[in-house]
Structure 1
Amino acid sequence: MTGNGLGSAVPKDVSSWAAGQRWFADTGRPVALARVGGWSLPSGEPGVLIRTDCLLDAGDPRRTVYQVPVTERDVALPGGKAALIMIVTGADGRRRFVYDAPADPAYARALLLLILHHGRSGPDPDGCSVAEGETLSNGLAGGVPGTGFGAGGVEPTVVSSHVLRGEQSNTSIIYELAGPDGRVLAPVICKVFRTLHHGDNPDVTVQSALARAGSHLVPSPVGCVVGEWADSRAPGGTARGHLAFAQEFLPGVEDAWRVVLRAARRNEDFTARARSLGVATAAVHADLGDAMPTAEPTADVVGVVLDVLRARARRAIAEVPDLARYAPAIAAVFAAAADAPWPRLQRIHGDLHLGQVLLVPGRGWVLVDFEGEPLSPLEDRTRVDVPWRDVAGMLRSFSYAAGTVSREAPERTGAVSGWVQACRRAFLAGYSERSGQSLGEQRPLLDAFELDKALYEAVYEKLNRPDWLPIPLAAIDALLSPALAPETVRESG
């Protein structure tokens, strides 16, 4: 901020606040934040200053960089108590109120205008950091539905904005918009990336590529913000990457996890919808294969993928000692995958599960959040991969829904087991139908990726929800002991 607020040094109050946020990677060690970049935006409101700081956690071995936009106000923001970071006193003796900016309508409006105007941020007094807005819908026929963006439409008016609750990795702002004639326009959501990486964020590039390909299975993009900050690991010591991503917002819809869990609890037939979800997943893979680069599965590439799976398995065994008895069987699954024929590698979702899919009335399934794991290296999240990894993630998600019901009502375990088997078979049938690929000789690949996902779940539950550990342990047992529970693995493909 200005000399009356935040400067190059990061106040302890800001560090303490950041460490308590859900998007901050808590490692149980002292937080050591250092400012490595920043930029300002015009607020359009008297008495309000807007600044974004890029803060490096120097105590984190990964050297994570966080994006922390703040507003500084002469007068307290009405209803902004939950977003208040600190109160500072300037040299003039006046108090000023510093807020987490996404909750401040002044920042929300400035951010959207930066995108729509292809704007450029104000200068950074401590370096050459900059942020620039870009629209992404100009190449899309008709622009974003209901907004006029990208179709020669006029600039919308921001009627209101609010932060989407419940997010863990980023902060999203929901905009209610109107045209100059007062006509209500379709709402927009802008995701502010909290963890920054040098390079293009896959949530922006992958989803935009799908939209340009004419896919209606993803929200239409509006635009993004790209910025620069100091990073000794980047070429020339300056990193450049995506800061925010605005896209079509689909209000009043449920994610597939809630839809599936409700059906499982009621024992409702979900096979038709599971099959259509398989079709949608395959359609997204097909569009990605056409729109983005692909690669041959060379022996070296296959070896790297399997080395990663084996390394993760070793870490899982170390964290969950109960898995040690499965070590030979785990090795056998990965060995079988090595001997199987591999499909051509391509871009995929990378973190696909039922929570990443929306059921939109009149439109069907829509896939969202192509960012991958925000704390994973960007290189890992942007390389080509095996489509069966996404399929495995969805199968595990169906099984987790069944496991949740069994945990709630143990007497329903038998019934829900049959229900989830039918859903998994239907999903695979729909995927095979649309992709033109039956599992066949590639079944060992799906088994390997599903095992990898279950091992990850076991570690997560051991560290975060020990009471839930039996769900992934049961899946691992089934995957590695087909004679005991073949139905969890051997659905027809």
Structure 2
Amino acid sequence: MSEAVIRTVAPPPGLLASLDPLLRQWLPRQRWFAGKGRPVTGFTLVAGTELLPSGARLGLYHLLVRAHQPDPPDPSGPPGSPARGGARPGDCYQLLIGVCEALPPRLAPALIGHVSEGPLAGRTVYEALYDARPAELLLEALRTRARIGGLRFERDPEQEIRPGLVPRLMTVEQSNSSVVYGDTFILKLLRRVVPGINPDLELPLALARQGCPRVPPPTAWLVADPDPADPGEPHVLGVLQPFVQGATDGWELALRELAKGEDFTAEARELGRATAEVHTALARALPTVTLGHSRLRAMVAGMTERLAAAVRAVPALRPYAAGLGSAYTALDDLAAEGRTWTAQRVHGDLHLGQCLRSPSGDWSLIDFEGEPARSLAERRMPQPAVRDVAAMLRSFDYAARSADPPRPDWAEHCRAAYCSGYAEAAGTDPRTDPVMLRAYETDKAVYEVLYEARHRPQWLPVPLAAVRRLAGPDRP
């Protein structure tokens, strides 16, 4: 289909200044805002496009906005230490701002506020994804491969997008925003964006070229091109993929089976097979590298530094620091003896909530963005495939310990079944590399301790139970 071009204008001068006081209040309340706990001191407009004229009954702006905040403290230094490396640029967020005279009651949850001055004075602004008309506009732009200002809407010409699909915003809390269109497609809009190739588009495209059925193939995607006056890399803003109708995410399914006292090992085994199939396809599609002692030393140094920072931040970790650190020194010792590993592209943030089981029982893996807290370069680095395995083993543990009463035996059986399923599909059992598996599981548990201590203290006993196991003399 030929590319459509939609005429647009840049946002009026003073737009961001007029929105500033409202965004300072609204943005930190969003689940996907990464800078919680630090005040927003100002905004910079990275890019802006008027998708619908603000003078009409409904206006619509697409904005890339950099939120400025005080630097976070250095986790490796004493309390109150400033961030290392001096001031860093604020995070850039993708916003879709609707403009209207009065917000209808059905859109009350979308309210950002009432503008008191500037070009939108007297009007109401809101999160536009709650509204059908803006959501429909995004799908039509993807369908017609539109160019709107600096926004470029691309799609796979082999996949059809029917017009008129009814949108609905998924309101479950997540680190991005998703709109489902007629139970046919799901559009994931990235909220915190960075320039460069995003693995959430890169890896599913590579898997689609390999014919891997375990990951929904990208149908279309949205990109913001750099300003010609300030050339750089484009920003990937969103990905449209087929919607798996009737699917249940692995976390919900696991909790449901736990509540009923049902066995989950068959599902865990099939999920292990699905993970191995994705890893095998990624290793075919993208380059792999060999990790020798020099590269392993750098990886171990990063793990050791993260452990030290977590021990300083969470006193409950201190009794286990030496035992946990032995997981990393054991890996370094093995590499020093000449052991090497193959590294490849991996999911990077695998857990039960990133897996979907269809009504037919087939598992799919989704959300290849990686850990949002890591830089894009880190998220795109080849890693041993066992990193994903270790992360999933931790997810089984989380599910089991969220039950009342906790079911560590359930987790143990699921972990074993998952590794067995992985071995059946990959030809290699991750349990045959216990040193690497323990190092990655320890690194994940340390991250979990720090996260729970900061954000969900009531969950802290879950990773601490794993810490005791991983650091103790009876560790597996």
Distance 2:361 2:260 in 1: 24
Distance 1:306 1:230 in 2: 40
* 1:364-391 per-position Cα deviation (integer Å, ceiling 9, x unaligned): 1111111112342111111111110100
Distance 1:466 1:439 in 2: 32
Q: How far is the alpha carbon of 1:107 from its aligned partner?
A: 1.5
Match of 2:270 among 269, 276, 279: 276
Give the equivalent residue in structure 2 for 1:443.
Answer: 434
Asked whether the equivalents of residues 402 and 420 of structure 1 are also in contact (C-alpha less than 8 Å), the reply is: yes
Q: How far is the alpha carbon of 1:219 from its aligned partner?
A: 1.8
1:205 aligns with 2:202: yes
Q: TM-score, normalised by structure 1?
A: 0.84
Q: How far is the alpha carbon of 1:212 from its aligned partner?
A: 2.2
Once the two structures are superposed, the pairs formed by residues 74-473 of structure 1 within 5 Å of their partners are: 74=101, 76-77=103-104, 79-88=106-115, 95-122=122-149, 130-135=150-155, 137-138=156-157, 143=159, 148-149=160-161, 155-158=162-165, 160-176=166-182, 186-228=183-225, 236=230, 238-338=232-332, 339=334, 341-362=339-360, 364-405=362-403, 408-409=404-405, 413=406, 416-439=407-430, 442-473=433-464
Distance 1:65 1:93 in 2: 23
The one-letter code matched in structure 1 to 2:267 is R
When residues 92 and 382 of structure 1 are mapped into structure 2, their CA distance, relative to the original with a 3 A threshold, is closer
The one-letter code matched in structure 2 to 1:163 is L
When residues 478 and 440 of structure 1 are mapped into structure 2, their CA distance, relative to the original with a 3 A threshold, is closer
The one-letter code matched in structure 2 to 1:200 is I
Residue aligned with 2:350, SS: coil
Distance 1:24 1:96 in 2: 25
1:476 aligns with 2:467: yes
The one-letter code matched in structure 2 to 1:319 is A
Distance 2:120 2:49 in 1: 26
When residues 230 and 313 of structure 1 are mapped into structure 2, their CA distance, relative to the original with a 3 A threshold, is farther
Q: How far is the alpha carbon of 1:254 from its aligned partner?
A: 1.5
Distance 1:252 1:65 in 2: 34
Give the equivalent residue in structure 1 for 2:25.
Answer: 16
Distance 1:230 1:259 in 2: 45
Distance 1:293 1:40 in 2: 41
Q: How far is the alpha carbon of 1:15 from its aligned partner?
A: 2.2
Q: Could you tell which deviates more after superposition, 107-116 or 292-301?
A: 292-301
Distance 2:39 2:227 in 1: 23
* 1:456-492 per-position Cα deviation (integer Å, ceiling 9, x unaligned): 1111222222232222111111112142xx5xx3xxx
Identity score, percent: 35
Give the equivalent residue in structure 2 for 1:182.
Answer: none
Distance 2:361 2:316 in 1: 45
Match of 2:39 among 15, 21, 30: 30
Give the equivalent residue in structure 1 for 2:83.
Answer: none
Q: How far is the alpha carbon of 1:41 from its aligned partner?
A: 2.1
Asked whether the equivalents of residues 276 and 426 of structure 2 are also in contact (C-alpha less than 8 Å), the reply is: yes
Asked whether the equivalents of residues 264 and 402 of structure 1 are also in contact (C-alpha less than 8 Å), the reply is: yes
Give the equivalent residue in structure 2 for 1:183.
Answer: none
Give the equivalent residue in structure 1 for 2:65.
Answer: 55
Residue aligned with 1:33, SS: strand
Question: Which 5+ residue runs of structure 2 have no aligned equivalent?
Answer: 1-9, 72-87
Q: TM-score, normalised by structure 2?
A: 0.87
Q: Could you tell which deviates more after superposition, 386-395 or 93-102?
A: 93-102
Q: How far is the alpha carbon of 1:40 from its aligned partner?
A: 2.5
Q: How many pairs align?
A: 445
Q: How far is the alpha carbon of 1:393 from its aligned partner?
A: 0.6
Distance 2:99 2:54 in 1: 13
Asked whether the equivalents of residues 134 and 225 of structure 1 are also in contact (C-alpha less than 8 Å), the reply is: yes
Asked whether the equivalents of residues 10 and 35 of structure 1 are also in contact (C-alpha less than 8 Å), the reply is: no
Distance 2:364 2:428 in 1: 22
Distance 2:164 2:55 in 1: 15
Asked whether the equivalents of residues 54 and 65 of structure 1 are also in contact (C-alpha less than 8 Å), the reply is: yes
When residues 9 and 293 of structure 1 are mapped into structure 2, their CA distance, relative to the original with a 3 A threshold, is farther
Q: Could you tell which deviates more after superposition, 431-440 or 275-284?
A: 431-440
